[in-house]
Structure 1
Amino acid sequence: MKQTSPCSARERKQSMAFDAGMLACMVHEIRTAALGGRIERVMQPERDEIILQIRSFAGGRRLLINAGANPRIGFTGLSRENPQQAPMFCMLLRKYLTGARLADVVQNGFERAATLTFDTRDEMGFACRRYLIAEVMGKYSNLIFAEDAVPDAPDGRLRIVSALKVVDFTTSSQRQVLPGMIYENPPAQDKRNPLAEDPDGFAAQYAAVPPDYPLDKFILSRYCGISAAVAREMVFIATRHTDTPARYADAATLWRGFEAAVRRIRENDYAPCLVLDGGKPVEYAFLPLTQYTSCEIRPFEEAWRLLDVWFESRDRDARLHQRAADILRLLTHTETRIRKKLDLQRSELADCEKATEYKRDGDLITANLYRLERGMEQVGLTDYENWNEETGEYGTVLIRLDRRLTPAANAQKYYKKYAKARNARVELTRQIALGEEELTYVYTIFDALTHAETAADLAEIRDELYRSGYASRMKGYVAPRKQPAPVCAKFRTPGGFTVLCGKNNLQNEYITHRLAQKNDYWFHAKGVPGSHVLLVTDGREPGDEDFTAAACIAAHFSKAAGGSQIPVDYLLARNVRKVPGGKPGFVIYHTNWTAYVTPDAERVAAMRI
């Protein structure tokens, strides 16, 4: 049995971190801070994400409801870029909810669903209520806008007005979500509500458990709304192990751990925490996860701040795959094509090594024309340049001949093969160098995609690919007539110096060749794709901390990010030269220094302005 629960990929994969307990925690936060608040603005930055700007006595808050790859509900402090034209669902919510007051927020039983009730007015000016139902259930997540089925005499039934994801009969035969239909709760699981459980009922469930069955799996299989991490924590509280089988505990012992976790939900006594392994978030919950004794446990006073830390990179990756699917597909196909072409060219180059053999065979045939005649298929000739010291004899070469040709014509045939192989070696060497250069360029685009943060960043990458010769593979893309100036990332060092960082090749070129002054310092991770980083001096001399900070930024925004002791080259910007005829972002330099740094993502984020 394990006394501690390591931060393993297997356990994280099985986690359902945003469980019903976490939803109860978020509902409590929303009720505490935003109940009675007025909706000032409705935004839909992504196709499956809604943000409500709420103004209450506690101040302004942004309530995020995500029904996509990372479903959740809660406040957020992360900024989102809104599309120029709002989707239809967003326009509908603006019509009916702008100016409305948040009257109530309740969790639907102990399921991962919550109903937000708004006091507003209808088209005639009469008071009425509208509802937003957030179903946070993995791939079945949805956001449903509803109203009272009988407005004049509300009876608890709700009629669907619209939904973020419409579910018809072709999608689900059990439950449809269509405008005009009466809203029905998601199908109930064949599990018990942990909030309604008592010791006797728990003991009855425990009595049916096989002796070798793990206790955490028993909790997951019998009770709804509990994540794997919370189930293990219940077992750990009771037995000080996470994989205890039923034979080593009894119902009363396990009930102690089960009740300790459930009581926090009943009493709204939440203590959200984040588990970090080597600085990387690996787990979170609404209660302290004491099972992770070998990892850092970071407590949060407000759960929404925890969710921002957990989902920031995950949301960015999800948005990247949604918005940049065409770019990723183009780059993947291009990489495969180049690799296949390079393998073929290297194979042909290996064949060119036989050029000297072709010349030797031609010379031997020419020297022995008097011994040969038409119709011969092969001949063994003495090679006077190949002396075997062991045998004391010259080597013999077996040469294949074309019986249809004269001996002189056979010699010319070998000379032609020699000339072809010699010329092919030169051309193939050049083509392989070009292919490797293009592959390196493709890798820089892959790296730029990992740093893309906004739709403008992706637009710059698309424009770069279009202008770099990939237009024929970008169907439907129309290059803008006037490209706006790139907007690069900005940082502030401890010494007060400004640092500019390019997130793609266009921004790199703009920083290095347009913004850089001769006394500014230029940084780049050594030997790997990465961002151009410029330390703006404004005529002053930076200190050691400023150089280290700029080097950390360059290492963080490179393919080597996440490593330790990453080499970063730096030099005066005036010594950086653009490669003549090269791809965007390619430069050459010689007079440089090299620093070795281990970047800290949190420190880099703290320096950003």
Structure 2
Amino acid sequence: MHFDALTLAAVAAELNTTIRGGRVQQILRPDAHSLGMEIYAEHQRHYLLLSAHPQASRVHLSEQKLRRGMEKDTPLLLLLKKYVRGAILDAIELPVAYERLLALRFEHPEHGSTTLLAEPMGRLSNLILLDAGGRILDVLKRIPPGENAQRVLLPKWVYSYPPAQDKVPPLDDGQPDYYTRLAGVLGAGGRLWRALADGVEGISPTLAREIAWRVTGEADGEANGDAQPGQLLALAAAVQELWQLPQTAGWTPGLALDEEEGVNGFAPYELHFVDDFLPVEGISAAIARFYGEAERDAAGSTDAYAGMRNGVATLIRQAEERVRRQLAALTADEPETGDPAHLRRQAEWLLALNSQVQKGQRELVVPLGDEKLVIRLSADETPVQQAERMFDRAAKLERAAVIIPERRARLETDLLYLDQLQSDLALAQNQPEIASVREALREAGYLRQRPGRQLKIAPDRSQPLRYLSAEGFAIVVGRNARQNEIVTFDEAGLDDLWLHVRDAPGSHVVIRSGGQPVREETMRAAAQLAAYYSRLRGERGVAVAMTRRRFVSRAPGGRPGLVHLRNEETLLVEGVLPGLAEG
């Protein structure tokens, strides 16, 4: 995925709303290609990463505190500590239209103005510190004069912008031949996305494929050299719609998902040509999560499905964050405690006796036989207005008493289900089983349903594991939510023994005893299977609940594999495989 000029524009817009005006508190080198800054702005610390890595150049806010990865201080770092640490980040600008060039201007109380330029341009990436006059103080990658040097980047030299590209601008520049030049981009034929990337400024292959999809319905659509005026206008509209995002601020950042590779990209606009697009809260979050994925290089991983597994893990974490935000919002919406019947009674009496209330009166006392009803009066409202407000609050309390507990219970059930899906993902042994976890997220409403979408990977048709105890009882083990449904509600008899680890997601295990006596060694073996095929694998002293299947029922909420149980007993076992034969 490409960190292109439009992505940089989205990052600049985000930085302007989060860290502009902040004070630089620390500067460090996370690695040989990068600089990190801690900036205090809006009463909180922010961590800015600027990377000139040839394969991963980028600029974004980091979700985690940046750590020093290089012991030696370079001349550039020493100058930054002198001129930038303690300075105010005064301006964040994109000095050249459609170019990957970001300027951060700092004002230091002692040393005055300096500018740090980030050029996240792949193998040509660089970080450059300028003085107030535009002269280079130092640069991360020094470029001396030579036959292959497009620019000289050395201390004491005057900085010059990257060479201009002989391409058509993405937005109409007002020239009378603009559309003629745009039509000329298509003249060579071939893939439309390639023609756009080669012929239009600020268009990366990712952006070009998205434009091609919006124009032709497919990312690999053909460029038509004989395009009719209507087709040319459709192309211009698609290009300009995306490149007007810096003006409209209509950013929709997110992660690109592939069914086989998992998370495989990011963009500040919705991508339609990918398998799935997962919106996130900001472009920095999208970039950070893409580059923060563990074991992105599957060739160096012991897990053959690392990329795909990590992608689905990201989806589950995103869903969990969404549910937790909803729970927090529910708590914020919860009204203050109070007795709605008492409030309603006060409102009724206040309304009935409002003509007796004198100006400036602080309370109304209503004698009710052996007791008195005291109503504190508002100085800012008439008695009628106060009574209406009290009626409204009583109604809100009554509704909240019913709706909020139900909604909270559903959300807490969803968290349990997502926890189960995390366990299912960890236990998945092949692509179909990993894909089934993603599809479970989709069925639960955490991923979009795309019309006409076809799976690249065959559906998961795996069956529960089966073992045979020493006394001849079959033991059936579900390894994910779908299989747990089969084990508990399709295969198990009401008098069979049912087992599951306590307080953790994991497998449903059933001893097909049919109510017959079961030896302790068989119970313990089944409990070990329940512990092994759970998040507590390898742990000692794992608590496993055991009861008859008749005492197990589906939990409210309809999520697969979630149950309630009663009349259970507890076994303590080690989370290792017992010595049982499969069969």
From the two aligned structures, give the one with the greater helix fraction.
1
Q: Which has the higher contact order (CA 8 A, sep 6+)?
A: 1
